[in-house]
Homo-oligomer: A and B are copies of this chain.
Amino acid sequence: MASDGFRPLDEKSLLEYLKATPVLAEKLGNQFEDLQIKEVGDGNLNFVYIVVGRSGSFVIKQALPYIRCIGESWPMTKERAYFEARTLREHRRVCPDQTPEVYHFDRAMCVIGMRYIEPPHIILRKGLIAGKEYPLLAEHMSDFMAKTLFFSSLLYLTTTEHKHAVAEFCGNVELCRLTEQVVFSDPYKVSQYNHWTSPYLDSDAEAVRQDNILKLEVAELKSKFCERTQALIHGDLHTGSIMVTSKSTQVIDPEFSFYGPMGFDVGAFIGNLILAYFAQDGHANEGNDRKEYKLWILKTIEETWNLFHKKFTALWDEHKDGPGEAYLPEIYNNAELHLLAKQKYMEDLFHDSLGFGAAKMIRRIVGVAHVEDFESIAEPEKRANCERQALTFAKLLLKERRRFKSIGEVVSAIQQPKP
């Protein structure tokens, strides 16, 4: 055991750990004979064990001091587990329906014990690849984003509470730096980690690195990411951080959380839906041309923003005489001004979301970490064609985001034939 009390768990030591941890042992009815323990960490960063006993189940997630998918050559603070547990609990407080419960957190061991999000839940990204519709997805995700972002912003918090929380989450700087590198930097320069569907996209990747206007816009977004402490954001809200059934939506993995720009979360979700849209032609086959499914994705994108807008501003209305110090009631509570303030705030947030969403799309095509939506298209030329369409749209969206007045206009632009 290291001097800081940390040791990586394996299946055997995990069992001992469970026996020695009352809150977890009790979940299992203190029955350890026929436990099922399965390592399922298919993510990039951590060990994840599913533990199922006769009287209960949970997931054990352990952060390691490096990035699992790259190995010990890319060290990464295991303190991220602290911020993940901290944010899960905060999300659970303000949005219990879309957040799994945390049963146990062990800071020294970087171990989180939390709800096992049982089958038929699957990762949303896998559902999108399979062409499955989730009728409540927009409803649930707009709810999650409206609540988690509103309640951690100065629309609801005092500046004392806000600065206190900002200071704490500054501690998650290493994870922020990883985002800075893989989202805002690497795709725009030559980097050993970048890859793309070669040779088809060689000139596209080169064009990204040569595009001054694109890079100027990316600098502005990066500055917002690094400097704007607007709300406690999830920080990695793509379709791989969401588990779904037709009735349930659960948001997991907020280890990148910190006080940043709200648009980074909204954009991550919408941008990844747009990626899923452009991947559909690669998944079409004789049995299913995916045309209807593509329309469902577009409808979900449109509903997500519109419902988010509605719910977020409804929270603002509801709490306009509350503790938040951004718009003091004595100054801003006249009907016309309150409306103007909301319009301005939401317009800025909309354009931020489009910008961040586009940046997250680009990095998934020419950066280090790709998405299964495209990677699962076996034929490289077909995959490259899908990716090129997504990349072309993302560049347009990033550069022209301020001219979009509604999500409907964005959805129309997605459907325009790409040159």
On A, residues with C-beta under 8 Å from B are: 154, 159-160, 162-164, 166-168, 170-171, 173-174, 176-177, 180, 185, 188-190, 212, 215-216, 219-220, 222-223, 226-230, 325-328, 330-332, 334, 336-337, 340-341, 344
Q: Is the CB of B159 within 8 A of A166?
A: no
Sample 26 A-B pairs with CB under 8 A, ordered by A number: A154-B227, A159-B180, A159-B226, A160-B173, A160-B174, A162-B226, A163-B173, A164-B170, A166-B166, A166-B167, A166-B170, A167-B168, A167-B170, A185-B328, A185-B331, A189-B328, A189-B330, A190-B330, A212-B336, A212-B337, A212-B340, A216-B337, A216-B344, A219-B327, A226-B325, A228-B228
Q: Knowing A173-B159, A173-B163, A222-B326 are in contact, say whether A331-B215 is a contact too (CB < 8 A).
A: yes
Name which residue of chain B comes closest to A223, CB basis.
B326
A171 surroundings in chain B (CB, below 8 A): 167
Other A-B contacts than A163-B176, A167-B171, A223-B326, 5 sampled, CB-CB below 8 A, are: A154-B223, A160-B177, A189-B331, A219-B326, A219-B327
A160 surroundings in chain B (CB, below 8 A): 173-174, 177
Q: Knowing A154-B226, A219-B341, A226-B159 are in contact, say whether A325-B180 is a contact too (CB < 8 A).
A: yes
Chain B nearest CB, measured from A378 CB (Å): 33
Q: Is the CB of B326 within 8 A of A226?
A: yes
Chain B nearest CB, measured from A363 CB (Å): 13
The 4 closest A-B pairs by CB, nearest first: A167-B170, A163-B173, A189-B330, A163-B170
Q: Is the CB of A159 within 8 A of B177?
A: yes
How far does the alpha carbon of A229 sit from the alpha carbon of B226 in the complex, in Å? 8
Name which residue of chain B comes closest to A189, CB basis.
B330
Chain B nearest CB, measured from A85 CB (Å): 19
Chain B nearest CB, measured from A65 CB (Å): 17
Option from B177, B212, B337 in Cβ contact (under 8 Å) with A334: B212
Name which residue of chain B comes closest to A167, CB basis.
B170
Chain B nearest CB, measured from A146 CB (Å): 19
A170 surroundings in chain B (CB, below 8 A): 163-164, 166-167, 170
Option from B177, B188, B222, B337 in Cβ contact (under 8 Å) with A215: B337
Name which residue of chain B comes closest to A161, CB basis.
B173
Chain B nearest CB, measured from A63 CB (Å): 19
Chain B nearest CB, measured from A374 CB (Å): 24
Name which residue of chain B comes closest to A344, CB basis.
B216
Name which residue of chain B comes closest to A216, CB basis.
B340
Chain B nearest CB, measured from A89 CB (Å): 21
Q: Is the CB of A188 within 8 A of B331?
A: yes
A164 surroundings in chain B (CB, below 8 A): 170, 173
A159 surroundings in chain B (CB, below 8 A): 173, 176-177, 180, 226
How far does the alpha carbon of A64 sit from the alpha carbon of B127 in the complex, in Å? 62
A163 surroundings in chain B (CB, below 8 A): 170, 173, 176
